[in-house]
């Protein structure tokens, strides 16, 4: 349940920024049109005869192409220098421009193959919109805002197409670069396709959207058994690989103290689970009402995003035996504390 798109997909390409992270490694700050998500980070790694580009930003408007071109130019590169395009995960802000980058550069596209959680909406928008509307009704979403909860335009407009990877990424795959090999580590939870990239010799990690400086979670719902448990397990996986000299997130600044950031995210998940339990204790109801009990006043777009997050907590708590879901006579769901 992704939610409605921004009012306009257009951005200002001149806001793109490039930062030297290390010799042969650059960070690109690419502007985004979302009110609460102002940018996404892409990374360029020097390759034998060009670069490996990790993520490439959103689509939805031609101005996004200008942003990635501007960022590459500030590092002394062009789109044609991309030899390998790597997607850390299948979300619009990370691989929206993949089709255009590949067309312009001839690059190979490497990404996890399980893309249904996002590309189902790209390929079959009517089916996914109908499914979202049905589930939203069952969770108590009012008729007046139902269209926001059924929206699939991020999947249809935010990417140029459902581009299948030339090389499916799985744990242990190595991506060559002049900085040495980057090892693929599967880290599901944020979405089923998520991977991180680790350069062991230099103690560097590209995090995608696993961890950032601030706790602002997203769990794709409906394509794995327990996204929250997967996410917590992925935090354990990354922590066990440390220490790292520098961690490079998909949003925000580089992280120098990754264990501290991981602890922040573990606490954040634990607090949200307790808040969800407290909201249920106030009286059985559906996920829509629980979302507003936990988060307070939200605009329509944020309401969709936060209800998706609540879905993750509810599934986790049900599997833990702490919460029960009942189906009322009219087909709507309500959640109550078990026992």
Per-residue confidence (pLDDT) for residue 35, from 0 to 100: 85
Q: Looking at per-residue confidence, does 5 or 228 come out higher? A: 228
Per-residue confidence (pLDDT) for residue 198, from 0 to 100: 98
CB-count burial class (<10 Å; 0-12, 13-18, 19+) for 6: buried
Mean pLDDT of the chain: 96
pLDDT band at 192 (very low <50, low <70, confident <90, very high): very high
Measured in degrees and rounded to the nearest 5, phi and psi for residue 39 equal -160, 165
Mean pLDDT of 110-121: 96
Two tokens at 99?
Answer: 């089709």
Per-residue confidence (pLDDT) for residue 39, from 0 to 100: 97
Residues 6 or more apart from 160 whose CB is under 8 A from it? Answer: 59, 96, 97, 98, 99, 100
Q: Looking at per-residue confidence, does 1 or 28 come out higher? A: 28
Is the backbone of residue 296 left (phi > 0), alpha (psi -120 to 50) or beta? left
CA-to-CA dists, residue 208 to 72, 106, 189, 287, 319, angstroms = 19, 24, 12, 28, 27
Domains in the chain (CATH in brackets) are 13-257 (3.60.15.10)
- The answer to whether residues 234 and 191 touch, using CB atoms and an 8 Å cutoff, is no
Tens digit of each residue's pLDDT (9 = 90 or more) over 46-78: 998 999 999 999 999 999 999 999 999 999 999
pLDDT band at 2 (very low <50, low <70, confident <90, very high): confident
Two tokens at 62?
Answer: 């031609």
Tens digit of each residue's pLDDT (9 = 90 or more) over 235-286: 999 999 999 999 999 999 999 999 999 999 999 999 999 999 999 999 999 9
Tens digit of each residue's pLDDT (9 = 90 or more) over 311-334: 999 999 999 999 999 999 899 999
Give the C-alpha separation, 153 to 44, whole Å: 29
Mean pLDDT of 184-203: 97
- The answer to whether residues 222 and 117 touch, using CB atoms and an 8 Å cutoff, is yes
Whether 1 has a pLDDT exceeding 70, the answer reads no
Two tokens at 320?
Answer: 């833990």
pLDDT band at 300 (very low <50, low <70, confident <90, very high): confident
Per-residue confidence (pLDDT) for residue 3, from 0 to 100: 80
CA 337 to chain centre: 30
Give the C-alpha separation, 282 to 96, whole Å: 41
Mean pLDDT of 184-206: 97
Per-residue confidence (pLDDT) for residue 241, from 0 to 100: 97
- Print the SS3 string covering the chain: CCCCCCCCCCCCHHHCEEEEEECCEEEEEEECCCCCCCEEEEEEEEECCEEEEECCCCCCCCHHHHHHHHHHHHCCCCHHHEEEEECCCCCHHHHCCHHHHHHHHCCEEEECCCCHHHHHHHHCHHHHHHHHHHHHHHCCCCHHHHHHHHCCHHHHHCCCCCCCCCEECCCCCEECCCCCCEEEEECCCCCCCCEEEEECCCCEEEEECCCCCCCCCCCCCCCCCCHHHHHHHHHHHHHHHCCCCEEEECCCCCECCHHHHHHHHHHHHHHHHHHHHHHHHCCCECHHHHHHHHHCCCCHHHHHHHHHHHHHHHHHHHHCCCEEEEECCCCCEEEEECC
Two tokens at 148?
Answer: 């926001």
């Amino acid at each position: 349940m992704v939610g409605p798109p921004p009012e306009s997909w257009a951005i200002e390409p001149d806001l793109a920024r490039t930062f030297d992270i290390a010799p042969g490694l650059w960070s690109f700050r690419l502007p985004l049109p979302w009110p609460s998500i102002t940018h996404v980070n892409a990374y360029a790694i020097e390759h034998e005869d060009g670069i490996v580009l990790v993520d490439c930003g959103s689509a939805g408007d031609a101005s996004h192409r200008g942003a990635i071109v501007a960022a590459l130019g500030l590092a002394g590169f062009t789109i044609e220098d991309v030899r390998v395009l790597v997607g850390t995960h299948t979300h619009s802000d990370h691989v929206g421009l993949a089709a255009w980058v590949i067309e312009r550069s001839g690059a190979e596209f490497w990404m996890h193959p399980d893309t249904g959680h996002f590309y189902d909406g790209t390929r079959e928008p009517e089916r996914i919109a109908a499914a979202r509307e049905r589930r939203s009704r069952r969770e108590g979403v009012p008729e007046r805002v139902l269209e926001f909860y059924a929206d699939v335009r991020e999947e249809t407009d935010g990417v140029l197409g459902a581009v299948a990877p030339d090389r499916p990424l799985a744990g242990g795959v190595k991506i060559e670069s002049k900085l040495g090999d980057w090892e693929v580590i599967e880290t599901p939870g944020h979405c089923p396709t998520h991977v991180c990239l680790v350069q062991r010799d230099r103690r560097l990690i590209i995090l995608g959207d696993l961890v950032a400086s601030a706790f602002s979670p997203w769990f794709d719902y409906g394509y794995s058994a327990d996204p929250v448990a997967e996410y917590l397990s992925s935090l354990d996986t990354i922590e066990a690989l440390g220490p790292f000299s520098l961690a490079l997130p998909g949003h925000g600044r580089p992280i120098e103290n990754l264990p501290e950031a991981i602890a922040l995210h573990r606490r954040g998940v634990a607090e949200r689970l307790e808040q969800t339990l407290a909201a249920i204790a106030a009286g059985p109801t559906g996920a829509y009402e629980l979302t507003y009990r936990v988060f307070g006043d939200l605009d329509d777009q944020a309401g969709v995003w936060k209800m998706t997050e609540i879905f993750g907590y509810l599934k986790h708590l049900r599997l833990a035996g702490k919460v029960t879901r009942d189906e009322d006579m009219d087909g709507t769901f309500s959640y109550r504390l078990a026992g």
